[in-house]
A and B are shown apart, each in its own frame.
Chain A
Amino acid sequence: MNAIYLVAIGDVPEQVMNWIENAASEWYPLPIRRLPALSIPENAYDPKRKQYQSVEIMKTLAQVAPQDAHRVLGVTDVDLAIPMLSFLFGQAQVDGRIAVVSLCRLHQEFYGLPANANTLRERTTKEVLHELGHTFGLVHCQDSKCVMSLATHIGLVDSKEEKYCERCGMQLVERFSSLEAEV
């Protein structure tokens, strides 16, 4: 059976990878597997912006995706961006296979506050569910509590709940049923 693969890119604590595995397995009825950690692709680094281009990281993820990978989610601690935008919490191919989440701006320390593991777990869970949701065809939701709502700053990430709204949840269920039919 096809699986969702998780892969750490660069230095990502095992505890964080476990949180992600738990969150994904709670919502997605597919096996959740790990790939060996990858080093950060050098060509992704933008020295002018001191950030990493998410597109390059996603290309690397597409290259390492196993044959049976239904989805591949990369997790990194570096700060992601695209040429047009100053930063990204994560990025995904809508209805595609690849997604990436950055932990960089999910840490309280990024905002000059003391570290808080619980806050980091909550934020990571939300971003992982959000990006995986995109790969299963969900787009941004108008319900600000829904994990699929657009977050353009950390305050909006915090105001979401760690779950899909009823409508997005139903869409996911429909999607899963069509996957079962395909299998």
Chain B
Amino acid sequence: MKKNWPILVVDDEDVMCESMAAWLREDGYHVDTAADGQKAVGLAKACDYAVCFIDLKMPGMDGIETMMEIRRIHPDASVIIITAYATVDTAIQAMKEGAQEYIVKPCNPQEISMLVSRILKLKKLQNENAILRKKLTRQYRQHDIITKNPRMQEILALTQEIASLRSTVLIRGESGTGKELVARAIHFSGTRADKPFVAVSCAALTETLLESELFGYEKGAFTGAASQTKGKFEMSAGGTIFLDEIGDISAKLQADLLRVLQERRFYRVGGSQEIEVDVRVIAATHKKLAEEVQQGRFREDLYYRLNVIEIKLPPLRERREDIPLLAEHFAQRISSELAREISGISAGALKLLIEYDWPGNVRELENVIERAIVTCRNGMLEEQDFSWMPHHGGESQSWEVPDVPLGELERRAIVAALERKHGNVKEASAALGIDRSTLYDKLKRYEISH
């Protein structure tokens, strides 16, 4: 394992280089040596050394210059400056220029051994951290939003186009359609990816709680405010704040939010000092905000501030071709998380899933798959594993398509939906998976009175 951590020893004294290299090799490290700064920089171009021991005094390029050149190539290189004499000035300069340590030779073997293992431990943690960050970033890239639906693919292309902009985004879509996933995809694909992504569910909190949650508060701002606390806007500095269910916030918070969007400044609750913040705002709602504006429940100016870029996510029933893909994906992921051996989903079970309307959308599908995996007994998700789902069972399986033109089928489906929903157009259009305006068009076309 230590072979993965190459070490460079740079000294103009051959005996120093060779003896130090030999000692480190006994510890299992791969060690290269260089007799001057130029050679060291040349070696560093070809190899990212985990640790570089560099002698301070060398003819030509000295230790600090060599270190700076190497750090230009590898900014995270760990450098240990070696000197025969301890001088405070050079020690300070070496540390200022980025040396990890400064040691006076000769030193105790234990000291060097501990120093190297401490640096490598830190390197290992840094590497792990980078891998985890990369994994996290990959997790929310567009490739992980599973779809072959053309509308969704257009949306994904749009998320890439807008990822590096600062413009506010409003994501609309029914509950469970993946609004937060799209917001994360935008954040993690753009220039803010290495900064925080902070999600706040506005519907989950009361007005006062949400206010302090968003903007933070000063000590003594209210009973229980024992210390100054940063809000989500401050926590997401440089990154993205995702305000879910924005349509549910109070008139006061709408005004406060408008101010943040306009001026990029706010006050903590109980505070008198303005705080400036660079945050990208992505908001989401299941409501039709334009209608909320018309009815006076949502500020028009805030609506336009939020709705700079609008993304409307289709419900799952309008992208049925994605159901098998998503179901297989969830089955694979959840079975591995729950350590259950599930080889797949039978064709019959998939048919059931495709035909279901999914009012709770992708989230509901995920939950359904999880429940089926928990109760599944034979290693394959079969129809009976989904028998508890609404609108499924013998009836759907024995449903026969009457021999009539397609238009007539549609007309009958609309009439049946209106009957089931007792003439409620909104509910009938939801059940049919179409907009209310589309339903009105069809009612006119098929001359259906209701």
Contacts and interface: CB of A to CB of B under 8 A. Distances in A.
A86 interface: yes
Nearest to A93: B22
A140 B27 contact: yes
B109 A87 contact: yes
Interface stretch (B11-19, B43-51, B131-139): B11-19
Interface in B4-36: 13, 15-16, 18-20, 22-23, 25-28
Interface string B85-110: 00000000000000000000111111
A83 interface: yes
B118 interface: no
B106 A84 contact: yes
B113 interface: yes
A50 B363 CA distance: 76
B138 to A, nearest CB: 33
A55 B110 contact: no
Contacts of A49: 106
B134 to A, nearest CB: 29
B112 A92 contact: no
B82 interface: yes
A153 interface: yes
Interface in A35-62: 49, 53-56
A150 interface: yes
B13 A83 contact: yes
A139 B109 contact: no
A104 interface: no
A51 to B, nearest CB: 9
A134 interface: yes
A56 B22 CA distance: 13
B353 to A, nearest CB: 52
Contact of A94 (B22, B107, B109, B110): B22
B107 A134 contact: no
Contacts of B108: 85-86, 152
Most buried by B among A55, A84, A94: A84
A83 B109 contact: no
B74 interface: no
Given A83-B15, A139-B2, A152 B26 contact: no
Which secondary structure dominates chain B's binding surface?
Answer: helix
A85 B112 contact: yes
B27 A150 contact: yes
A75 interface: no
Contact of A152 (B2, B18, B109): B109
Nearest to A141: B28
B16 A84 contact: yes
Nearest to B114: A152
B15 to A, nearest CB: 5
A91 interface: yes
A108 to B, nearest CB: 20
A139 B105 CA distance: 24
B13 A82 contact: no
B42 to A, nearest CB: 23
24 contacts: A55-B15, A55-B22, A56-B15, A81-B106, A82-B22, A82-B23, A84-B19, A84-B20, A84-B53, A84-B112, A85-B106, A86-B107, A86-B108, A91-B22, A91-B26, A94-B25, A134-B26, A139-B27, A140-B28, A150-B27, A150-B113, A152-B109, A152-B113, A153-B110
For the complex of A and B, the 4 pairs showing the least CB-CB separation, nearest first, are A139-B28, A82-B19, A152-B110, A152-B109
Given A82-B20, A84-B20, A84-B105, 17 more contacts: A54-B19, A82-B22, A83-B19, A83-B106, A84-B82, A85-B20, A85-B107, A86-B108, A86-B109, A88-B109, A94-B26, A139-B25, A139-B27, A140-B27, A150-B113, A152-B110, A152-B113
